[in-house]
Chain A
Amino acid sequence: MLEPVQLTQFGVTELEAQHALDRLNVRDVDYADLYFESRISESVSMEEGIVKRAAKSVSQGVGVRATAGEKTGFAYSDELTKQDLEIAADTARYIANSPKGDSPVPVPVQRRATRDLYPVERVKAEVPTADRVTLLNEIDAEARRYDPRIKNVMASFNTEYKVVAVATTDGALVADIQPLSRLQITCIAEDRDNRQVGSFGGGGRVAFEYYREDNRHLSYAREAAREAILNLSAVDAPAGVMPVVLAGGWPGILLHEAIGHGLEADFNRKKTSAFSNLIGKRVASDVCTIVDDGTLPFRRGSLNMDDEGTPTSCTMLIEKGILRRYITDKLNARLMGIPLTGNGRRESYQSVVLPRMTNTFMRAGESDPQDIIRSVKKGLYAVSFGGGQVDITNGKFVFSASEAYLIEDGRITSPVKGATLIGNGPEILTKVSMVGHDLKLDNGIGTCGKDGQSVPVGVGLPTIKIDEITVGGTQG
C-alpha cells in the first residue's frame, strides 16, 4: 500500500534524511539515495502430520548509495541513528573523487502514486498463528485422503510484511507497504520400493483469505499429491532433440531464463549479454510478444514502485519477435541513455539495486491448445517445472521439468520422469511455431536469484510449441 512517508517509524526525521542526502551530494555524485526498510517475516511448517515449527524474524535497516559515472558506493546499517546515517553516507561517497563538503540537494517532495496494487486493508498481514496451523492441518488431511500411497506431507506457510521508504537526490520521498505470502506443499508417495515426490504451491501480495477462497489450499494439496502419485508410474525421459509443447503458466520460466535475464540492462551496458546490440533485431518468431509487467494487482512479482521509488510499468520486451527494450534501473538507464522502466530492485537494505524482472510473460496467441498437441508426432509435453538457470554471456539456459508426458502421434501418453531442457536464449524463441490462446500466469511461487540476491517474481505463458530443443533424459 502506498503510504504518506513517515520516516519517524524508522526512528529518523526528515531533516536527518535530508542532511544525509546533502552529505552524499558531492560534486561528482550523479545520484544518491537512502533506502529504509523494516520487515517482519513469519512462517509455520508441518511434516509427519504435525505443525512442528513456527518462526518469526524482525529486521530493520538503511541502505545508503551514491553513484558517480559507472561507480557505485554502498553502505548499510542496522542502526538508524543520525551518526550511523552520516558514517554510511561518507562511506558511500568514497567512490566519488570529490572534495568533502555538504552541498544541499533540493528538499525531496513527497509523492503519492495514483494506484494501489495490493491495498493493505485487504491484505492484512496479521493472522493468528492458530489459523495458520489449522490451514496446514487441513492440507495434510486432504493430501492423505487423495491416495493412501501419500506417506508424508510437508507444508509451509510464509508471510512477509515489508515497509520501505526511499529518499533520493533527484527529489523523491516515497514509501510503500509490500505484503507477500506463499503456501508450499510437498508430498512423498510410496508404493513398495518406488518413492516419488510431488510439489505445488501459490501465493502473492494477497490476504490470508485468499488461501481459503473456494478451498484453494485444498486444491493445492490435491495437486501436490496428484503429481507424486503420477510420478509413481513415470517412465525414463527421452534424450535428444525433439519438439516440446509447454503448458501455460509456470512453464513461463522458459522466458525468464532464456531471454529475461539477458535483457537486464546491466549486462547489456557492459556488453556481456548474448543479447547485447540486438535491439530492433529478430530474436523470436513473429507469434511471440513478451512483456515484463510489474503492475498486475496482487501478483507476487508486482510492485507499486521499484526500490528506487520509480513506479513500475508494463515494458514491451519482444514485439512480434523483434527485441524492443531492456529492463532498467536508474544507473543503467542513465548510462545507456534509454528509458527507465521501474525495474530497479534489491533483496533488502543490505543489497545494491540491480535491474530485475517483475512478472514476465508471453501474450496469448491464436492457436487452440489441443491443435498444438495434435501437431506433434513424437515429442514431450511439459506441464510443471522445478528451477532454471542461464549463462548470460553465452546465452545457454536450462530448466527442469517435474511433470511431463510423451506425445505420440498427436496424443498425450505416458508420464515421464523429470528431465532438464537446454537451449540457446537468442535462438530458442525463433523455434516457437504455435502460441495458444490460453495465457495463464503462474500461481505465485517464483523466486529469482541474481548476484546472490533473491527477489519474488512471476512468470506466465500460453501453451506453446517449440519445434526443437534438447531434452536431457536417459533414454537415447
Chain B
Amino acid sequence: MLQEHRGTEPAPIVNGYTNLAADVLARAKACGATEADIVVADGETLSVQVRVGTVDRLTKAREKRLGLRVFIGKRSATTSTSDFSRESLEQLVADTCTLARAVVEDDVSGLPDAVQLATEHPSLDLYDETVLDTETQIDWAKRGEAAAFAADPRVTNSEGAEFDSSSGRVVLANSHGFVGSYKSSTFSLSVSPIATESGTGTMQRDVWYEVQRKFARLPSAESIGQEAARRAVRRLGARKVATKRVPVVFDQETAGSLLAHLCSAISGYGLYKRASFLLDKLGQTIASDLMTLYDDGRMVGGLGSRPFDGEGLATRKNTIVERGVLKSYLLDTYSGRKLGLPSTGNASRSVGESPSVGPTNFYPVPGLKSPQEIIGSVKGGLYVTELIGFGINMVTGDYSRGASGFWIENGEIAYPVEEITIAGNLKQMFKDIEAVGNDLVFRGRIASPTLKISEMMVAGN
C-alpha cells in the first residue's frame, strides 16, 4: 500500500522526485495548463503472515506512483501512472490536458490561493529508520500467535498472525511554487485466534492488533496475542436475545466507528451535495454536551498526522464539536468554496485522484468514568464489541447494523450475544450519548473511549 498521507518528516536530502515534479509541472504549463499540482509517492513493504506456527505468506514490495492534476481555466482532470519514463510522462501530461478540455467549467475549481500554502513543515516524528529483517518479523508474528494459543486451551485454531512494516515518502508540488515532502513509517502486528466451544464445536474468531510509527513503541507480541485470545474465548457460548429497546454501550473500537460516521457527515463533499444528515448545523447542538471533539493534524507521532494536507495547506488542531455544539466542518479548498468557508486543512489525497476530505487524528476529550463504571450503570442492556454490515444511510442518518458483544444484567457482563442488530438514527444517537469513558487510546486516525447511548432498538428473537 502506498502511504501517501500517513505521516511526516521533512526529507533530509534533496530528492530526485522534486526535480521530476518541477519538470512535469513545466510540461503541463507548456501544454496549456493554467494551474497544476503533482503528487509523487513511493514506499516499501514487508509483510509476514504466520499460521499455526509456520510461515504462511511472505510479501515484499517496492512501489512508486505519480499523480497529476491540471486546471485549464475552470476545467480540471486528474491522472496517474507508475511508469516514470520520459515518454510515459509526456503522454500523461498530454492526456490530462485533453481530459480537462473535455469536461465542463466549474466556477470554484482551482488550487488553493498561494498565501494559504504551508510555509513551514515541522517534524512530527513519524518516521523510523529501523529496517526489520524477515527473520525478526517472522519471530514477532510467531510469538504473537503462540501467546494466543498458550493463553487458553479453548484457542484451538488460528487465522494467523501478521507483522507488517512499511515506509514511504510523499512529495507534493504545485504551480504556485509549493514544494513539500515527508517520510513516514508504520509497524503493526495483528493476531487472529479461533476459539472452539467443547461439545458443540462452535467456533469464534477475534482479532487484536497494535500499530505504531516507531518500532520501539510496539508493545510485546505476547501481550497482543493474549488480548486476542481473551477476545475470542469470551465470545464462546454466544446467543441471541429478545427484541427490545435498551441502553447500548460501545467499546473503543465500535465507538470509533460511530465517530467515523460523524466525520463523513461533516465532510464538505457530503454537505454541499446535500447528502448528509447534518446539513446547515454549524453553531447548533448535534451531540450530547459530554462530547467535545478535536481533529489534530499535528499530533506528534500520530497515525493521521502530516505537516501539510493533500493540497499543501498547513495542518492544525481544529475544535470540531464543543460541548455538543458543531464548531467546524471538515473541508478542503473545493468543498469549502462550495460552502463559502475556508479550508480546514483536511484535504486528503490519493495519488491519481482529486482531493477529498478526511480526518487527521480525530478524537473526543475523554470522560472520567472507567468502562467498568459505565457498564455498571446499565441495569439491562447491550455491550457492543463488534459491528458488521453497511446499514448506514448518510443522507437520513438511519442506522441498522449487525452486532455482537455481551448482555449486561444489573451492571455486570452476563453472557455473550450474537446474531442481533442494533438500530436507531445517528442524529439522535449522538445526542443520546450518556457517558464518555476515560479510556482513550489511539490505534488509528479516529479514536474513541467507551461511549454509552441511552437507548437503541436491539433486534434478535
Contact = CB atoms under 8 A, between A and B. Distances in A.
Contact of A398 (B82, B243, B354, B389): B389
B395 A195 contact: yes
Contacts of B461: 240-241, 470
Contacts of B235: 394
A71 B56 contact: yes
Interface in A420-476: 420, 422-424, 470-476
A197 interface: yes
Interface of B: 51, 54-65, 76-83, 88, 92, 95-96, 98-100, 102-106, 109, 134, 157-159, 194, 202-205, 235, 238, 240, 243-245, 273-275, 279, 352-354, 388-391, 393-396, 398, 400-402, 404, 418-425, 457-461
A77 to B, nearest CB: 7
B400 A420 contact: yes
Nearest to A193: B279
A446 to B, nearest CB: 13
Contacts of A76: 61, 63
A95 interface: yes
B41 to A, nearest CB: 12
A58 B92 contact: yes
A52 B103 CA distance: 6
Contact of A396 (B61, B78, B388, B423): B388
B398 A58 contact: no
30 contacts: A52-B106, A55-B353, A61-B82, A70-B54, A71-B58, A76-B63, A78-B82, A78-B83, A91-B58, A94-B58, A95-B55, A130-B102, A151-B274, A154-B275, A196-B395, A239-B421, A240-B243, A240-B460, A272-B203, A352-B57, A386-B390, A396-B402, A400-B400, A419-B421, A422-B419, A423-B419, A471-B421, A472-B400, A473-B400, A476-B244
Contacts of B63: 61, 76-78, 350
Contacts of B398: 417-418
A221 B100 CA distance: 25
A74 to B, nearest CB: 5
Nearest to A91: B60
A73 B459 contact: no
B48 to A, nearest CB: 10
B390 A387 contact: yes
Given A472-B400, A472-B423, A474-B457, A75 B61 contact: yes
Contact of A129 (B99, B106, B202): B99
A133 B103 contact: yes
A272 B157 contact: yes
B418 A396 contact: yes
A195 B204 CA distance: 40
Contact of B159 (A77, A270, A397): A270
A186 B157 CA distance: 44
Nearest to A42: B99
Contacts of A95: 55, 58
A27 interface: no
Contact of B99 (A50, A54, A91, A386): A54
B61 A77 contact: yes
Contacts of B62: 77
A152 B421 CA distance: 31
B423 A272 contact: no
Nearest to A231: B396
Contacts of B55: 71, 95
A476 B194 contact: no
A190 B273 contact: no
B100 A54 contact: yes
Contacts of A418: 391, 393, 398, 400
A71 B57 contact: yes
Contact of A196 (B56, B158, B396, B418): B396
A130 to B, nearest CB: 6
Contacts of A154: 273, 275
Nearest to A385: B390
Given A59-B80, A59-B82, A77-B62, 11 more contacts: A55-B352, A55-B354, A56-B99, A58-B88, A71-B58, A74-B59, A77-B63, A78-B82, A241-B243, A396-B402, A398-B402
B390 A388 contact: yes
Contact of B421 (A186, A197, A470): A470
Interface in A183-206: 186, 188, 190, 195-197
A469 to B, nearest CB: 10
Contact of A58 (B56, B78, B80): B80
Contacts of A247: none
A115 B316 CA distance: 58
B274 A394 contact: no
CB-based closest 8 A-B pairs: A472-B421, A398-B389, A398-B402, A387-B390, A393-B205, A420-B391, A129-B102, A400-B391
A72 B58 contact: yes
B400 A394 contact: no
Interface residues of A, number: 77
B82 A197 contact: no
A132 to B, nearest CB: 8
A123 B219 CA distance: 53
Contacts of A420: 389, 391, 400-402, 421, 423
A52 B108 CA distance: 11
A396 B14 CA distance: 53
A398 B104 CA distance: 41
A400 B400 CA distance: 8
A59 B81 contact: yes
Contacts of B88: 58
Interface string A25-55: 0000000000000000000100110111111
A60 interface: yes
A304 B83 CA distance: 28
A391 interface: yes
Contacts of B106: 50, 52
Contact of B82 (A58, A130, A241): A58
Interface in A375-390: 386-390
Contacts of B204: 393-394
B419 A396 contact: yes
A149 B79 CA distance: 35
A52 B354 CA distance: 11
A42 B389 CA distance: 29
A237 interface: yes
Contacts of B279: 195
B109 A424 contact: no
A57 B80 contact: yes
Nearest to A389: B388
Interface string A232-258: 000001011100000000000000000
B459 A56 contact: no
Given A95-B58, A272-B159, A387-B390, A394 B401 contact: no
A167 interface: no
Which residue, of B83, B105, B238, B422, has the highest number of chain A Cβ atoms within 10 A? B83
Contact of A72 (B56, B77, B83, B99): B56
Interface in A100-152: 129-130, 133, 151-152
A277 to B, nearest CB: 9
Contact of A57 (B79, B103, B202, B394): B79
A386 B76 CA distance: 31
A394 B109 contact: no
Contacts of A424: 419
Nearest to A79: B62
Contacts of B82: 58-61, 78
Contacts of B77: 53-56
Which of A53, A91, A240: most chain B CB closer than 10 A? A53
A347 to B, nearest CB: 12
A41 to B, nearest CB: 9
Contact of B420 (A129, A393, A422): A422
B198 to A, nearest CB: 16
A399 interface: yes
Given A47-B273, A57-B79, A274 B203 contact: yes
A11 to B, nearest CB: 10
Contacts of A129: 98-99, 102-103
